[in-house]
């Protein structure tokens, strides 16, 4: 029979990959990300787990707080040094201390995106990473950055504009990997597409009109198959076979009380809505120019390969 410590270890290991991904996107350093995750384990081992309702959410908050403190400490150290360029170079040397693992993680995020994230303030970076990449609500982000939910929303919005202006996202992931080989470029582009899908989902859930509009191509087409239309009609969603234009598609998804999960749909990043543990509807995304150019909603799942992520 498994004792409480063994259960806690197993439970933590289940969350470790996601926690590491959060920390890496926050810190851009494999060694620091591992330190943040280890600190989360130490705090978990000392906590009253019975009092924690959502353990995954609690661990995410701990890793985010630790990462935020590490970013602030790093910034303070840099400001204390007279020769800032040397300090920046030293930090970069630390970041690539384990080149092979660092390269794998960098591919999964996009090198260009990591560079842009480094230009954000610690609070902006945290709000953007948690909300746009991991769909954490602003109400949960606010206490971490000691702001109101509205202020946390503003932090993420400013960060999002900086990222978009710098050309980060799916195109930046492709550009950052160019010259490193087709496999590396494909991995980075795939990560950029996945981040775009997560940003779409987060903006839809939070009812952020401008954020949702920003990830859509102006000429986007939303297509829904007959099976999905019948399902939507039963739920009084009044769905039509095709919707054209970013404004119309934004309004179709804004403030939806839906709970799809990220998935690979025939090998490409997408969303899946499941009922009673079984996939019922898939959302395919076509990306062009760093924006979503088409969304295909399908309830006819025959022949579709679905891998939940």
- Model's pTM, two decimal places? 0.53
Q: What is the pLDDT of residue 255?
A: 67
Q: Are 271 and 253 in contact (CB under 8 A)?
A: no
Q: Give the full edge-to-edge strand order of the sheet including 291-298.
A: 242-244, 216-224, 291-298, 278-288, 268-275, 261-265, 306-308
Identify which of 63-67, 216-220, 274-278 has the greatest average pLDDT.
Answer: 63-67
Sign of CA dihedral 241, 239, 202, 148: positive
Res. 233: pLDDT tops 60? yes
CB atoms within 10 A of CB 238: 9
Please provide the DSSP assignment of 54-103 as one string: -HHHHHHHHHHHHHHHHHHHHHHHHHH-S-HHHHHHHHHHHHTSSHHHHH
The predicted-structure confidence for 154-199, as pLDDT tens digits, reads as follows: 898 888 877 776 654 444 444 444 444 444 445 556 777 887 888 8
pLDDT at 124: 92
Query: What distance lies between CA 52 and its chain's CA centroid?
Result: 24
Identify how many contiguous H helices and E strands the chain contains and give both numbers: 15, 7
Mean pLDDT computed over 38-59: 87
Q: Determine how many CB atoms are found less than 10 A away from the CB of residue 53.
A: 7
- For residue range 104-163, list pLDDT tens digits in order: 544 445 556 777 788 889 999 999 888 877 778 889 999 999 999 889 988 988 888 777
| CA pair distance 206, 135, nearest whole angstrom | 9
Residue 284 clears pLDDT 70, i.e. is over it: yes
Domains of the chain listed by start with CATH number:
4-212 (no CATH), 216-308 (3.10.450)
- Considering only CA atoms, which of 212, 122, 117 is closest in space to residue 173? 117
Q: Phi, psi (5° rounding) for residue 213?
A: -60, -35
The pLDDT value recorded for residue 82 is 39
**What is the C-alpha separation between 122 and 40, in angstroms, rounded?**
19
Cα torsion 151, 27, 61, 253: sign: positive
Residue 37 predicted with pLDDT over 90: yes
pLDDT-based confidence at 63, cuts 50/70/90?
A: very high
pLDDT at residue 100, as a whole number: 53
pLDDT-derived band of residue 22, with 50, 70 and 90 as boundaries? confident
The pLDDT of residue 237 is: 66
Reported confidence tier of residue 94, pLDDT bands at 50, 70, 90: very low
Region 271-299 average pLDDT:
87
Question: What is the predicted pLDDT for the residue at 68?
Answer: 93
């Amino acid at each position: 029979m498994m004792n409480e410590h063994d259960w806690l270890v197993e439970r933590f290991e289940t969350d470790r990959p996601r926690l590491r991904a959060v920390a890496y996107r926050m810190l851009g350093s494999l060694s620091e990300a591992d330190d943040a995750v280890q600190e989360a384990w130490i705090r978990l081992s000392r906590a009253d787990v019975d009092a924690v309702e959502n353990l995954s959410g609690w661990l995410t908050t701990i890793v985010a707080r630790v990462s935020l403190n590490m970013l602030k400490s790093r910034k303070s150290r840099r400001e204390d040094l007279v020769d800032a360029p040397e300090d920046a170079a030293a930090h970069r040397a630390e970041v690539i201390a384990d080149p092979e693992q660092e390269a794998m993680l960098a591919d999964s995020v996009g090198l260009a995106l990591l560079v842009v994230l480094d230009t954000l303030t610690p609070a902006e970076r945290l709000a953007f990473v948690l909300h746009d990449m991991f769909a954490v609500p602003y109400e949960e982000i606010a206490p971490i950055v000691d702001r109101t939910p509205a202020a946390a929303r503003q932090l993420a919005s400013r960060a999002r504009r900086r990222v978009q202006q710098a050309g980060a996202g799916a195109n930046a992931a492709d550009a950052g990997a160019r010259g490193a080989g087709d496999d590396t470029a494909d991995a980075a582009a795939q990560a950029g597409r996945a981040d775009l899908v997560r940003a779409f989902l987060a903006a839809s859930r939070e009812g952020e009109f401008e954020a949702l509009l920003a990830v859509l191509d102006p000429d986007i087409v939303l297509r829904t198959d007959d099976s999905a239309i019948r399902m939507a009609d039963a739920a009084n969603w009044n769905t039509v076979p095709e919707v054209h234009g970013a404004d119309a598609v934004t309004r179709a998804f804004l403030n939806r009380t839906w709970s799809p999960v990220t998935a690979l749909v025939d090998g490409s990043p997408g969303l899946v809505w499941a009922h009673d543990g079984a996939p019922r509807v898939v959302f395919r995304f076509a990306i062009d120019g760093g924006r979503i150019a088409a969304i295909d909603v399908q309830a006819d799942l025959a022949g579709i390969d679905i891998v939940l992520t």
